[in-house]
Chains A and B, each alone.
Chain A
């Protein structure tokens, strides 16, 4: 195998592994939204407050997935 192919192979594997981190973000968002929906179902009067806090929490959870994305993008496009 020539060196160029090896580099591409390594990049692809690395980027794929890095994106495993997105699973954590997905789980977090799922938990946050699930809890928020339950809370909204129990007392719909507080929906605006719950929604705002839910979006905040989702944003923080998503940030983790975004770090994984950044790492993956750097591996794919920046490393050479």
Chain B
């Protein structure tokens, strides 16, 4: 055993020295480093913890203040909104009124203008039509005057006699007959008998263009071309 210890280099004396040294080191390290340093570190840790707590409290206070500020801000914002809304409402009213008035005015102006334009157009159109009518009637009269021959006249007189309206039958009394061309005696007799008149006065008026006009005390039958032309003119109007 001794040999084993020797060859492994184990020496109880040296081990004892080492043990004492270790214990001394343990004591010194504990006394001068571990204990004080642990205390310092704990103190520092507590201080940091306390600092953190304070910071947390400050943070809480700040949060409260912030919340309050937020409230005030929200209130102010609400009021401002209200004011703005009111203002906007009022503005909208005014604007609506103005707009309505303007629109009415515009409508009125438009209406007036339209009316005026229609009137002007109507007048213009009327003028135009009158002119056209006069021209057309003139043209027609010219054409008719020239074209209604004797035979045509006779046909017209005959058709007047055959198609004599009911009102002109059996009149009695005196009758005035106007024709565009002088009537023959036969024709005069026929007309007198057909009308049933006692007396007949015959006159010629070329301006009636053709046909006959029978007038009596109670009325007249107009079978002239002129009256038909006038009717045409009226219907064009």
Q: Is B4 in the interface zone, CB < 8 Å from A?
A: yes
Q: Does B151 contact A (CB under 8 A)?
A: no
Distance in Å: Cβ of A63 to nearest Cβ of chain B? 18
For the complex with contacts A78-B4, A78-B8, 8 further pairs of A-B residues with Cβ separation under 8 Å are A73-B8, A74-B4, A74-B8, A77-B7, A77-B8, A78-B3, A78-B7, A80-B7
How many chain A residues touch B (CB < 8 A): the figure is 5
**Cα(A42)–Cα(B3), bound, Å:** 53
Tell me which residues from 1 to 44 in chain B have a Cβ below 8 Å from any Cβ of chain A.
Answer: 3-4, 7-8
Residues of A at the B interface (CB closer than 8 Å) are 73-74, 77-78, 80
Q: Contact residues of B with A, CB < 8 Å? A: 3-4, 7-8
Tell me the bound Cα distance from A20 to B175 in angstroms.
Answer: 169
Across the A-B interface, give the 9 residue pairs with the lowest CB-CB distance, nearest first: A78-B7, A77-B7, A78-B4, A78-B8, A77-B8, A78-B3, A74-B4, A73-B8, A80-B7
Chain A residues touching B, majority SS: helix
Which residues of B are found within 8 Å of A77, using beta-carbon distances? 7-8
Contacts of A74 in B (CB 8 A): 4, 8
Query: Shortest CB–CB separation between residue A28 and chain B, in angstroms?
Result: 26
Could you name 8 residue pairs across A and B whose Cβ atoms are closer than 8 Å?
A73-B8, A74-B4, A74-B8, A77-B7, A78-B3, A78-B4, A78-B8, A80-B7
Smallest Cβ distance from B4 to chain A, in angstroms? 5
Contacts of A80 in B (CB 8 A): 7
Give B149 Cβ to nearest chain A Cβ, in Å. Answer: 132
Task: Please give the distance in Å from B39's CB to the nearest CB on chain A.
Answer: 25
- Chain B residues with Cβ below 8 Å from A73 are 8
Measured in the bound complex, the distance between the Cα atoms of B4 and A74 in whole Å is 8
Q: How far is the CA of A77 from the CA of B8 in the complex (A)?
A: 7
Alpha-carbon distance A77/B3, docked complex (angstroms): 11
Q: In the complex, A6 Cα to B7 Cα: how many Å?
A: 21
Residues on the A chain within 8 Å of B8, using CB? 73-74, 77-78
Q: What residues of A have a CB within 8 angstroms of the CB of B3 in the complex?
A: 78
Closest to A76 in B: B7
Look across to chain A and name the residue whose beta carbon is closest to the beta carbon of B6.
Answer: A78
Q: How far is the CA of A73 from the CA of B7 in the complex (A)?
A: 10
Q: How far is the CA of A78 from the CA of B7 in the complex (A)?
A: 5
**Looking across the interface, which residue of chain A has its beta carbon closest to that of B7?**
A78
Residues of B within 8 A of A78 (CB): 3-4, 7-8
